[in-house]
Structure 1
Amino acid sequence: MSENNVLLDVKNLRLSFFTPGGEVQSLRDVSFQLREGEVLGIVGESGSGKSVSAFSIMKLTPYPGKVIGGSIEFNGHTITELSEKEMRKIRGNEVSIIFQDPMTSLNPVYTIGNQICEVILLHTDANKAQAKKRAIELLTLVGINEPEKRLKQYPHELSGGMRQRVMIAIALACEPKLLIADEPTTALDVTIQAQILELMMELKEKIGMSIIMITHDLGVVSTMCDKIAVMYGGKIVEYGTADDIFYHSKHEYTKGLLKSIPRLDAVEHEKLVPIEGTPVDVMNPPAGCPFAPRCNSCMKICLRQMPEYTDISDTHYSACWLIQKEAFEGGN
């Protein structure tokens, strides 16, 4: 695939929060690419750096967070060099985000129609009548019944699933090239989760946008994502296609995640295997592999030195000393 259809290119991104207690190293040399029309899943436990990665793409990192290294290239823009005024033209227009909790993301004192129309009026040449018409189209597109009535309602008058659909409508108002979904189904029940995910994939095909899906639910990424990045301790420890990650995983953390979720083909009464230990302290990260203190196969070098990425295939790579050990023992 040619380089000219790379929509997003994150290179060696380092981001820290400078707190009174010290520097919290949330992202440490994170690199990945997203091509046009692709769906990328970013998975990992809480504190691994998933949401911070997303917010950095939109320059929404809260104070006292700061990008201290690396670059973000998106659709011809160098995001890390843009001013806040320049970013306002891109946010909502070329890249949009669906936040984790719609109830805290929607303004409780404004109607649904007011909040959708605001985005349309800000980023397009539409007048108020055209913006209202477009808002009704968007609510219909995301499967909300009686859209004209919903425009006059406030967020608290809608159910959780409908609020999430409104958030998607706002994110899609200007047909962005990239949609970032930060755990968009966490607060929803299983049936509504499936509807929201199906809706996102339908809209992706209609509009032709790319999606970054941030989640801790491996079931979600297995059905939706073309590529998956597994994050731990502020680093991407494994990257590959869905088949690479689920059937040929190489990093011990990825294997641990897969062993800790229930399987339909599991033997009856088979126990799940939890990942022992506690998450890495990103204020004082280890010199070596961040997962080493919790890894059952940890070697001395794992604690001392971070391994380089090893290419398993054209689409699959991982940072683990065990892969290099296996290759060495195999004569490669």
Structure 2
Amino acid sequence: MSSNCLLDIENLQVSFFTPAGEVKAVSGVSYTLDHGEVLGIVGESGSGKSVSAYTLMGIIADPGKVVGGTVEFNGHHIEKMKEKEFRKMRGSEVSIIFQDPMTSLNPVYTIGSQLTEMLRLHTDKSRAECKARAIELLGLVGMNEPEKRMKQYPHEFSGGMRQRVMIAMALACEPKLLIADEPTTALDVTIQAQILELMVELKKKINMSIILITHDLGVVSDVCDRIAVMYAGKIVEIGSTDDIFYNPKHCYTVGLLNSVPKIHEQGHERLIPIEGTTIDLLNPPAGCPFASRCSQCMKICLKQMPEFTEISPGHKSACWLLQKEQFEKAGEGNAQ
């Protein structure tokens, strides 16, 4: 783990043990995150995006368990930590913004009491200092009349304002890592842009790293430094934002990009959907999880999961087609 590396996840495996059997929600996920970096994790619902990130905070709901792999974050070995240790770390070192701010805020307490509670739990500030810091945070996230807002309840705020409160709460103790779990899903396009811009500005101010979880490729295009594409509990491609958008190599990544409307296209163009349905994680296939939906599926795709193929430094994809291309190129080179 390099000195600039904040998070190092290696072969993470998370399962949910249900009466029907073991659901392998995350199967062998590995990635790193540097200080001040923004990593986007994209994929459809059920791909394991949120579960892999929730592991960092120890908030995987029962009957979920980490069954394998290592997670090293800021000197902590997450897979070995107890609940008491997680409580100290949450909020102070790593924070999270959940998808729906209305269900994340307590409707019977004022915004001010919820913000100051966070500060009292994780700092040694006095009540007056906590109140002053809470007002400062509301101003920092662009809330007008922050002192007045402290006395109001969540139902008096719009969706965008509630999300700003959640960001203020997450940043209260200036964490080293912010996990944003679909933070703009319930918001209109204008407010989405404001929230994303706000997160980037705040990241620069406190040199914070961000993991942005979303199924919306438009969200990650302007914000993220790197993108990991997940499908059925596995990372199938990872690289810089330019790599993923302009040189996608996995058939699933190509499918996601083809299903996004292109505003620069002339006339009318039909979107190309990804055919088929996701696999059953109770009985995952032996081979590539995307094989049953892939138009270029080969026999080996159904039998064995491919290793990652490096396309360029930092850009790699797990696809048998890439290994086939490399084998053919090597054969041509030997023939010459």
TM-score range, shorter chain: over 0.9
Cα separation, 2, equivalents of 1:154 and 1:296: 52
Q: Which residue of 1 aligns with 2:334?
A: none
CA-to-aligned-CA distance 1:63-85 (integer Å, 9 cap, x gap) = 00000000110001111111100
Q: Which residue of 2 aligns with 1:129?
A: 128
Cα separation, 2, equivalents of 1:9 and 1:135: 32
Cα separation, 2, equivalents of 1:71 and 1:106: 32
Q: Which residue of 1 aligns with 2:225?
A: 226
Alignment of 1:170 with 2:169, yes or no, is yes
Superposed displacement of residue 109, structure 1: 1.2
Q: Which residue of 2 aligns with 1:278?
A: 277
Q: Which residue of 2 aligns with 1:31?
A: 30
**If the length of structure 2 is used for normalisation, what is the TM-score?**
0.97
Q: Which residue of 2 aligns with 1:312?
A: 311
Superposed displacement of residue 40, structure 1: 0.1
SS at match of 1:329: helix
Cα separation, 1, equivalents of 2:190 and 2:252: 29
The one-letter code matched in structure 1 to 2:165 is: V
Superposed displacement of residue 265, structure 1: 2.5
The one-letter code matched in structure 2 to 1:123 is: H
Cα separation, 2, equivalents of 1:274 and 1:171: 36
Superposed displacement of residue 142, structure 1: 0.2
Cα separation, 1, equivalents of 2:293 and 2:314: 27
Q: Which residue of 2 aligns with 1:266?
A: 265
What RMSD, in angstroms, separates the aligned Cα atoms of the two structures? 0.9
Cα separation, 1, equivalents of 2:51 and 2:33: 17
Cα separation, 2, equivalents of 1:307 and 1:264: 35
Matches within 5 A, 1:144-223: 144-223=143-222
Cα separation, 1, equivalents of 2:262 and 2:35: 32
Q: Which residue of 2 aligns with 1:257?
A: 256
Superposed displacement of residue 160, structure 1: 0.5
Cα separation, 1, equivalents of 2:280 and 2:24: 9
Cα separation, 2, equivalents of 1:63 and 1:156: 30
The one-letter code matched in structure 1 to 2:12 is: L
Cα separation, 2, equivalents of 1:103 and 1:184: 12
Structure 1 alignment gaps of length 5 or more: none
Q: Which residue of 2 aligns with 1:329?
A: 328
**If the length of structure 1 is used for normalisation, what is the TM-score?**
0.99
Cα separation, 2, equivalents of 1:169 and 1:132: 13
Structure 2 alignment gaps of length 5 or more: 332-336
SS at match of 2:134: helix
Percent identity for Structure 1 against Structure 2 = 71
Cα separation, 1, equivalents of 2:314 and 2:154: 43
Cα separation, 1, equivalents of 2:266 and 2:227: 27
Cα separation, 1, equivalents of 2:81 and 2:51: 18
